[in-house]
Amino acid sequence: MIPDRIIEPNTLTTDGRRAEVEVRIPWYRALPGSCIAGAVLRIDGVPAAEDSLRWTMNGRTFRFEELVDEIGEWWFPTDSAVLSGEVPVKAGDAEHRVDVDLKLYIPYIVIGENEVLHIEEHDTKTMKAVAA
């Protein structure tokens, strides 16, 4: 697993209300949207409101509940997705601590009746915020 690369360095942007950061898959193979089960975005310890979170990949933006049935769009191992949400941060020279939690289903590892393995990974990086 590759959790150390979830957050792309120096990709934090903000419009003052929403913040976004590029994220990489911590797994060796592509997964469809249906296997991207949830995320948490925190800036300086403040989490973005859950219902404000959006996931953008392959040029399309989803709410997490919309990803549940998405088997057409896949997160390829060398692509960045974008995780965004409402969390205040000021653009400028100050360093910000960014935390991302990611929950993924691994669709080929069956661990019980009607149950597949899920993994929960976390990454933390520090970076400046750039105005969107």
| Nearest residue (CB) to another protein, 44 versus 121 | 121
CB of 119 to another protein, least distance (A): 10
| Nearest residue (CB) to another protein, 109 versus 131 | 109
CB of 47 to another protein, least distance (A): 22
Binding site for another protein (CB under 8 A): 1-2, 4-5, 24-25, 28-30, 32, 34-35, 37, 68-69, 71, 74, 76-78, 105-110, 114-116
| Nearest residue (CB) to another protein, 15 versus 120 | 120
Instruction: Determine the Cα–Cα distance for residues 79 and 60; give it in Å rounded to an integer.
Output: 13
User: In terms of Cα–Cα distance, which of 102, 49, 101 is closest to 75?
Assistant: 102
Question: Hey, what amino acid is at 32?
Answer: P
Instruction: Determine the Cα–Cα distance for residues 76 and 113; give it in Å rounded to an integer.
Output: 28
Instruction: Determine the Cα–Cα distance for residues 44 and 70; give it in Å rounded to an integer.
Output: 31
